[in-house]
Amino acid sequence: MPKDKVLLVEDEPIVRFGIRDFLESRGFDVEEAGNLEQARNVFQRVRPDAIVLDYLLPDGNALDFLPELHAADPQVPIVLLTGHGTIDLAVRAMKQGAENFLTKPVELPALSIILDRALENQRNRRRQTARARSDRDSFDPFLGTSEAIRALAREAAIALRSDGPVLVQGETGSGKGVLARWLHEHGARRDEPFVDLNCAGLSREFLESELFGHARGAFTGAVTEKKGLFEVAHKGTLFLDEVGDFDPALQPKVLKVLEDNRFRRMAEIADRQVDVFLVAATNHDLLRLVREGKFRSDLYFRISTIPIVVPPLRERREDIPLLATHTLAQLARDLGRPDVRLSRGALEALSAYSWPGNLRELRNMLERAVLRADGAEIDSSDLRFAAALTMGPEPVAGSTLAELERLQIEKVLQEERGRVVNAAQRLGIPRSTLYQKIKEYAVDLSRFQG
């Protein structure tokens, strides 16, 4: 883990040198500024974990600067220093967001203790937030006894030993996002932010703004500045799903962040530092995209420091009864039906199905079954398998699973008059996945619109 970074704002060089030297001896990484303008620039560039701020500076005072810092990052601890301390000034500083207030000459051991305590409190708050989110959304990505899932657990354990980027590959709905969150929650950055973004179907301009942020006036409609997700995930984990959809023009910028830990917001000229653990995921064959010139080879090799392949559900059929039972218990509790259970016939039907949508399809099907079931037991008749649905007439004998899937997509699109968002909701899949299927099966949306 990187050192805690402290921004020291002090206009007297001798005092600044003494504080910096002492804090560095205590394990802090110190960045310096001699006035408010320098402090603004350093703050934007390095994203400090804490700030030691002198009250009176050549171009202003700390009370005027505190609201600006608090608006930019309300969680950063700020310790105020002054040579003319009064109770009134201390109270005003605390109201403006200062963590503590010390008079000069500063007792350096006391400053170090205050910073340690403030940073630990900050980590505890993040830890509690992350734990609450984890308890609410937790799902064991290694639930099962199959060799395929045991192999996945071994690869994930190897990934935890490194802080390098992880590339998670697997079919749609196979649990790539669940694995990404597990890697974060069991890694060294577990107390820091976990930020995720599905890149599928996003335009280059929108994706660039989401990842890197933008300055005010960067483009029409940019009325305020915006933090990018690299900044939001600073010191934590950034999970980018469907990186195979990256626009080629954006790929060099992502590579620069991974190689140099620096980036620029749109319409800014100053670099900013950032430190993230990247988990990238895709259901595409990235090597094929590299050969076709659609994905940079240097970016591919950078994000695939540790490659992990999540097995599809059909390759771990012996795990399906346990997965279904566990998933049903969660759904039934959330839906107020804790007594609902799967019959033996339902478990056999679930185990025999091919699961083109993997874990996501399993969850969606079970949720519908809970809502449909009248009694406490879900039978096979309560299950609706997507591969068994057709456009009205019975499917042609010998139809492949892909053909059946295409027929069902076209049927729902026709009923929804080409509205992809509505169709995705009815099919129980993300909009980005439906767009991928439409492209894969060369479905002409214009047939259903109008």
Outline where 225-338 has alpha helix (H).
229-232, 251-260, 286-291, 297-303, 320-334
* Placement of tokens 């992502």 in the chain: 254
User: For residues 6 and 48, what is the distance between their CA atoms, to the nearest angstrom?
Assistant: 5
- Rounded Cα distance between 198 and 367, Å, is 23
- pTM comes to 0.69
CA atoms within 13 A on the CB side of 318: 7
The predicted-structure confidence for 7-66, as pLDDT tens digits, reads as follows 999 999 999 999 999 999 999 999 999 999 999 989 988 889 999 999 999 998 888 888
Residue-range domains of the chain with CATH:
5-125 (3.40.50.2300), 147-309 (3.40.50.300), 313-384 (1.10.8.60), 401-447 (1.10.10)
d(CA 350, CA 161): 36
> CA 126: distance to chain centroid?
15
pLDDT for 364 beyond 80: yes
CB 167 within 8 A of CB 428: no
Per-residue pLDDT at 133 exceeds 70: no
Q: Which long-range contacts (CB under 8 A, 24 or more apart) does 26-33 make?
A: 26/112, 27/3, 28/3, 28/4, 28/115, 29/2, 29/3, 29/4, 29/5, 30/5, 30/6, 31/5, 31/6, 31/7, 32/7, 32/8, 33/7, 33/8, 33/9
CB 91 within 8 A of CB 100: no
pLDDT in tens, 365-410: 999 899 888 888 998 888 887 644 433 444 444 445 666 778 888 8
d(CA 434, CA 162): 35
